[in-house]
Protein backbone atom coordinates (compact mmCIF):
# COMPACT_ATOMS: atom_id res chain seq x y z
CA UNK A 1 0.00 0.00 0.00
CA UNK A 2 2.78 2.40 0.90
CA UNK A 3 4.54 1.67 -2.38
CA UNK A 4 1.45 2.59 -4.38
CA UNK A 5 1.05 5.86 -2.47
CA UNK A 6 4.72 6.68 -3.03
CA UNK A 7 4.25 6.09 -6.76
CA UNK A 8 1.22 8.38 -6.90
CA UNK A 9 2.44 11.33 -4.82
CA UNK A 10 6.24 11.46 -4.95
CA UNK A 11 8.36 12.29 -7.95
CA UNK A 12 11.79 11.84 -6.34
CA UNK A 13 11.48 8.06 -5.88
CA UNK A 14 11.14 7.21 -9.61
CA UNK A 15 8.39 7.86 -12.05
CA UNK A 16 5.01 9.07 -10.81
CA UNK A 17 1.61 7.64 -11.68
CA UNK A 18 1.10 10.32 -14.34
CA UNK A 19 4.44 9.58 -15.96
CA UNK A 20 3.63 5.88 -15.96
CA UNK A 21 0.30 6.54 -17.72
CA UNK A 22 1.96 8.83 -20.28
CA UNK A 23 4.57 6.16 -20.94
CA UNK A 24 1.99 3.42 -21.39
CA UNK A 25 -0.31 5.36 -23.71
CA UNK A 26 2.03 7.66 -25.65
CA UNK A 27 5.57 6.35 -25.21
CA UNK A 28 7.55 4.15 -27.53
CA UNK A 29 10.52 2.39 -25.96
CA UNK A 30 13.65 3.43 -27.85
CA UNK A 31 16.16 1.53 -25.75
CA UNK A 32 17.85 1.11 -22.41
CA UNK A 33 21.38 1.54 -21.10
CA UNK A 34 23.64 -0.68 -19.01
CA UNK A 35 22.51 1.00 -15.77
CA UNK A 36 18.90 0.02 -16.44
CA UNK A 37 17.43 3.40 -17.44
CA UNK A 38 14.75 3.18 -20.14
CA UNK A 39 14.38 5.82 -22.85
CA UNK A 40 11.05 6.69 -24.48
CA UNK A 41 9.86 8.91 -27.30
CA UNK A 42 6.36 10.08 -28.22
CA UNK A 43 4.91 10.48 -31.71
CA UNK A 44 5.34 14.25 -31.58
CA UNK A 45 9.05 13.95 -30.71
CA UNK A 46 9.15 14.43 -26.94
CA UNK A 47 11.76 12.32 -25.18
CA UNK A 48 12.05 11.20 -21.58
CA UNK A 49 13.83 8.71 -19.38
CA UNK A 50 12.57 6.38 -16.66
CA UNK A 51 15.44 5.92 -14.20
CA UNK A 52 16.26 2.47 -12.85
CA UNK A 53 16.78 3.47 -9.22
CA UNK A 54 16.83 6.95 -7.73
CA UNK A 55 16.41 9.91 -10.03
CA UNK A 56 19.83 11.37 -10.83
CA UNK A 57 20.34 13.15 -14.13
CA UNK A 58 24.07 12.51 -13.98
CA UNK A 59 23.35 8.78 -14.42
CA UNK A 60 22.55 9.24 -18.11
CA UNK A 61 25.50 7.85 -20.11
CA UNK A 62 27.15 9.91 -22.85
CA UNK A 63 25.60 7.96 -25.70
CA UNK A 64 22.09 8.63 -24.38
CA UNK A 65 22.78 12.18 -23.20
CA UNK A 66 23.14 13.36 -26.78
CA UNK A 67 19.94 11.56 -27.78
CA UNK A 68 17.82 13.03 -24.98
CA UNK A 69 19.09 16.56 -25.79
CA UNK A 70 18.52 16.21 -29.56
CA UNK A 71 22.23 16.49 -30.33
CA UNK A 72 23.01 14.54 -33.49
CA UNK A 73 26.08 12.33 -33.46
CA UNK A 74 27.37 9.22 -35.17
CA UNK A 75 26.39 6.82 -32.36
CA UNK A 76 22.74 7.86 -32.17
CA UNK A 77 21.47 4.92 -34.22
CA UNK A 78 23.19 2.20 -32.21
CA UNK A 79 23.64 3.91 -28.82
CA UNK A 80 26.80 1.91 -28.32
CA UNK A 81 29.97 3.77 -27.47
CA UNK A 82 33.36 2.12 -27.43
CA UNK A 83 34.71 2.21 -23.89
CA UNK A 84 38.44 2.43 -23.29
CA UNK A 85 40.51 0.93 -20.47
CA UNK A 86 41.28 4.35 -18.98
CA UNK A 87 37.62 5.35 -18.69
CA UNK A 88 36.24 5.04 -15.18
CA UNK A 89 32.73 3.81 -14.38
CA UNK A 90 30.08 6.32 -13.36
CA UNK A 91 30.09 7.74 -9.84
CA UNK A 92 27.36 9.89 -8.41
CA UNK A 93 28.10 13.42 -7.26
CA UNK A 94 30.41 13.14 -4.24
CA UNK A 95 30.36 16.80 -3.22
CA UNK A 96 29.99 17.16 0.53
CA UNK A 97 31.17 13.64 1.29
CA UNK A 98 34.52 12.31 2.43
CA UNK A 99 35.25 11.06 -1.08
CA UNK A 100 34.87 14.53 -2.61
CA UNK A 101 37.70 15.76 -4.83
CA UNK A 102 40.03 18.38 -3.36
CA UNK A 103 42.88 19.51 -5.61
CA UNK A 104 45.35 20.33 -2.81
CA UNK A 105 44.62 17.70 -0.22
CA UNK A 106 47.25 16.65 2.32
CA UNK A 107 47.15 13.83 4.83
CA UNK A 108 46.07 16.40 7.46
CA UNK A 109 43.18 17.69 5.38
CA UNK A 110 42.85 20.41 2.80
CA UNK A 111 45.99 22.38 2.03
CA UNK A 112 45.12 25.95 1.14
CA UNK A 113 47.21 28.28 -0.99
CA UNK A 114 46.60 31.10 1.46
CA UNK A 115 46.63 31.67 5.18
CA UNK A 116 43.94 33.36 7.18
CA UNK A 117 44.80 36.70 8.82
CA UNK A 118 42.70 35.75 11.86
CA UNK A 119 44.03 32.96 14.00
What is the DSSP secondary structure assignment for residue 72, as one 8-state letter? -
The answer to whether 111 and 105 are in contact (CB under 8 A) is: yes
Domains in the chain: boundaries: 2-84
For 36-86, how does the pLDDT look when each residue is reduced to its tens digit (9 = 90+)? 899 999 999 999 999 887 787 888 887 788 888 888 766 666 666 677 888
Residue 44 has a pLDDT of 92
The radius of gyration of the chain's CA atoms, rounded to the nearest angstrom, is 20
Amino acid sequence: MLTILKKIFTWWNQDTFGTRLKTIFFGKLVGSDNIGNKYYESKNGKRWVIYANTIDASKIPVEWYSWIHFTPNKIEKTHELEKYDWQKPHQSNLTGTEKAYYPNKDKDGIKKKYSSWKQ
